[in-house]
Copies of this chain bind each other. A is one copy, B any other.
């Protein structure tokens, strides 16, 4: 019984990691679709999002079953409830990758991004994918130190996002209103993706310490 219980907890962590890997892949592909105006890749990100949704449902069902059948307490209770919270965050990260892919699809065969801002999105995509990978690693390892590193990467994302807005709001922005609106919303999607990855890492700190990081 106890062994089955611990296997259930491990499976929960494994499902979260798998979800993190999927949304990391989705964001990497969505960014490539955006930068290369690659319609097929954009379509792939959009259609594969259902796998993330299915994993979310499976994770939540498993977590509810553990709560109902095992009535965990203390760190185990935090682990199981955090799995439910985490699955919502990770599903949302998948949704944000889909938004990026949808923008690429909507403007195809045109590029969404003026060349001037493409390097920002290359960088934001790189940081986002790294955050998803680090979030998976934090869930797997429960490494509170690595969890703190995610906050630094999120600061890097915020800096990129702020710089992007400086470019966008400059009086000499030459690319017109529609491009500016696309760029502003896309920038926001990357920033929110990073915020959710940080939320995941903070939940692991809560599991390990019983306290949310300040």
Name the residue of chain B whose CB is nearest to the CB of A174: B177
Whether A178 touches B188, Cβ cut-off 8 Å, given contacts A77-B67, A81-B81, is: no
A181 located at the interface, meaning its Cβ lies under 8 Å from any Cβ of chain B in the complex: yes
Whether A74 touches B81, Cβ cut-off 8 Å, given contacts A169-B181, A184-B184, is: no
Q: Is the CB of A73 within 8 A of B81?
A: no
Tallying the copies of this chain within the complex gives 2
A117 located at the interface, meaning its Cβ lies under 8 Å from any Cβ of chain B in the complex: no
Q: Is the CB of B181 within 8 A of A168?
A: yes
A68 located at the interface, meaning its Cβ lies under 8 Å from any Cβ of chain B in the complex: yes
A residues sitting closer than 8 Å to B (CB atoms) are 64, 67-68, 71, 73-74, 77-78, 81, 84-85, 88, 165, 168-169, 173, 176-178, 180-181, 184-185, 188
Ranked nearest first, the 3 interchain pairs of A and B with the lowest CB-CB distance are A71-B71, A181-B184, A177-B180
